[in-house]
Structure 1
Amino acid sequence: MVMGETGSKTVTPLPQGPDELVPSRYALRIGAIDVMVISDGVLPLPTAMLAHNADPAVRAAWLDDMFLPPDAFDWPLNVVVLRSGGRTILIDAGLGLDPNLDLPRAGQVVRRLDAAGIDLASVTDVVLTHLHMDHIGGLLVDGVQERLRPDLRIHVAAAEVEFWEAPDFSHTAMPPGFPDALRSAAKRFVGTYRRHLRTFDEAFEVAPGVVVRRTGGHTPGHSVVRLASGGDRLTFAGDAVFSVGFEQPDWHNGFEHDPEEAARVRIRLLRELAATGEALVATHLPFPSIGRVAVDGDVFRFVPAFWDY
């Protein structure tokens, strides 16, 4: 990452490609840790996926209040690249290109890493929040494995790898085809990258100030990544929180394998972030998804960060 100073943060001077109509990367600094959020594109999904346990009329009213379409809308997909202690770390890897799914506006991570001047061969570590295909698919794109370092370390919770040996979808509410696609992608990923996997039980420090910690809920091994350096802090929450999860933290997302536990994890994490005031980034919040959490009675409020130019 080529970065220039602007106060306590850094920005990337590299121009966007000629086909980029909106920004797709944003850089900042957390203490001594360089951080770049990169958009993998958007994933169109039915709005019922936001809250399959909610009254449809209440869900429709929330969507209307948010000026969102009633039937389907575009879920953002974000990944993070960071540098700390001489290590270059990719957190999640985007959707990739599944030929069985018509998702042309997602799967942009590899191309956008190249556009940002980040060579895949420079990545020393990959941290996976979980093994859903929109977090691992970028590493399954043809030609990617050959560009990675032979000593690449891929960090994932042991409970996550174990879960995908015989996944349980009984509490999810996904569109047709998704369970099979998720199962297939996870099996292929573990088979392809098994020798690179470095599993952990509850937490592991990947680099100075970079700790991945298992939360469970969304999947049994779902994890978040906490950054801390020089008094600054940031949490990459993966799929622990979605846009609707601030005002309606008890609503169940269709991809959650244990919705009740996912809600408990979400509330606990949001309360902690509100107390610490640290920055938040998450996979499915609108790009660049950087903001903070405020408590508003029994619910929460997401406060987007002002972009630093």
Structure 2
Amino acid sequence: MNLHNTTYPVASKPEELVPSRYALKIGEIDVLVVSDGVLPLPTTMLAHNATPADRANWLHDMFLPQDAFDWALNAVMVRSGDKTILIDAGLGSDPDLHLPRAGQLIKRLAAAGIDLSAVTDLVLTHMHMDHIGGLLVDGVKERLRKDLRIHVAAAEVKFWEAPDFSRVAMPPGFPDALRATAKRFAKEYQGQLRPFDEQHEVAPGVVVRRTGGHTPGHSVVRVASGGEALTFAGDAVFAVGFEQPEWPNGFEHDPEEAARVRIRLLRQLADTGEMLVATHLPFPSIGRVAVDGDAFRWVPAFWDY
């Protein structure tokens, strides 16, 4: 086949010639992983405590560039019983950060035939702007149900009243943007927040649990039905976290606790063989965890066509 002579549908755009959603069943529960695009960041964000040589070696072994690369941004839709649940809301749009390839979630939900008014519940793994910004896009709030329930750990809401950035290592501009976005989100959606302490069942088989670490209220969501299970780990796990689980990234507010959370979660998933999805693993981010000596190994799922 000569690709230069291949005719694509007129409606296609170059940036849409990659898949942006992947559906699977967990027992009787429908799950849809949706890409919010990609976020270009310096590679130092992967592990700010690693030596430059160690970080460079890992990037070389992964065939990744040494200076910057694209972090995936993933969100998840879940249908359980009469509940339609969105887990995280994507980056949205922040013109000051100049990130045109991110913030695609709302239009990609529409492309998947999902009406925002059908979403009964929103679960937030935490309140960094790449997880809440989609709800601040112009016109989105008006399309949401008035009785939308937004589930988030109480510790997370409390943290963002006076956030501590003393232990992060973010690029310039990010702390201010994160702080402003969280403040605006809390103000606009205060009446719809449903804070929980440690754990909450959102729908049959859909449980959100606070882990802390990445942020004080960071949480993960486990979907279980019919003897199958999948955990959406939010920002508890990054691509480098399997081989180097103790390497904290620049966005973790408590690096040591984040590493403990990551190791504990990966051990659990390796023991059970349950599936893992995370915000910043390459789309569609579905796979399992294996033990590899003193570290772990990511085992991507074979796509089911």
Displacement of 1:18: 1.7
Counterpart check, 1:254 vs 2:217: no
- Name the residue aligned to 2:6: none
The structure 2 residue matched to 1:197, chosen from 193, 207, 228, is 193
- Name the residue aligned to 1:45: 41
The structure 1 residue matched to 2:92, chosen from 86, 96, 99, is 96
The structure 2 residue matched to 1:171, chosen from 139, 146, 167, is 167
For structure 1, which runs of at least 5 residues remain unmatched after alignment? Answer: 1-14
- Name the residue aligned to 1:230: 226
> Secondary structure of 1:129's partner?
coil
Displacement of 1:222: 0.1
- Name the residue aligned to 1:8: none
Q: Which amino acid aligns with 1:170?
A: S
Q: Which amino acid aligns with 1:69?
A: P
Displacement of 1:130: 0.1
Tell me the alpha carbon deviations over residues 180-231 of structure 1, each in whole angstroms, 9 at most, x when there is no partner: 0000000000000000000000000000000000000000000000011000
Displacement of 1:98: 0.6
Displacement of 1:99: 1.6
The structure 1 residue matched to 2:261, chosen from 262, 265, 272, is 265
Displacement of 1:100: 1.1
Q: Quote the Cα distance in structure 2 between the aligned partners of 1:230 and 1:247.
A: 31
- Name the residue aligned to 1:61: 57
Counterpart check, 1:300 vs 2:296: yes
The structure 2 residue matched to 1:145, chosen from 131, 134, 141, is 141
RMSD in angstroms over aligned alpha carbons? Answer: 1.1
> Secondary structure of 2:100's partner?
coil
- Name the residue aligned to 1:18: 12
Q: Quote the Cα distance in structure 2 between the aligned partners of 1:116 and 1:227.
A: 21
> Secondary structure of 1:257's partner?
coil
**Percentage of identical aligned residues:** 81
The structure 2 residue matched to 1:127, chosen from 123, 136, 150, is 123
Q: Quote the Cα distance in structure 1 between the aligned partners of 2:238 and 2:73.
A: 11
- Name the residue aligned to 2:213: 217
The structure 2 residue matched to 1:109, chosen from 87, 105, 109, is 105
Q: Quote the Cα distance in structure 2 between the aligned partners of 1:157 and 1:60.
A: 36
Q: Quote the Cα distance in structure 1 between the aligned partners of 2:22 and 2:268.
A: 25
Q: Which amino acid aligns with 2:12?
A: P
The structure 2 residue matched to 1:208, chosen from 201, 204, 208, is 204
Tell me the alpha carbon deviations over residues 226-246 of structure 1, each in whole angstroms, 9 at most, x when there is no partner: 011000000000000000000
Q: Quote the Cα distance in structure 1 between the aligned partners of 2:221 and 2:67.
A: 32
Q: Quote the Cα distance in structure 2 between the aligned partners of 1:261 and 1:141.
A: 32
> Secondary structure of 1:77's partner?
strand
Q: TM-score, normalised by structure 2?
A: 0.96
> Secondary structure of 1:286's partner?
coil
- Name the residue aligned to 2:278: 282
Q: Which amino acid aligns with 1:51?
A: A
Q: Quote the Cα distance in structure 1 between the aligned partners of 2:191 and 2:262.
A: 32
Q: Quote the Cα distance in structure 1 between the aligned partners of 2:17 and 2:165.
A: 37
Counterpart check, 1:291 vs 2:282: no
- Name the residue aligned to 1:155: 151
- Name the residue aligned to 1:12: none
Displacement of 1:85: 1.3
> Secondary structure of 1:188's partner?
helix
> Secondary structure of 2:65's partner?
coil
> Secondary structure of 2:267's partner?
helix
- Name the residue aligned to 1:35: 31
> Secondary structure of 2:96's partner?
coil
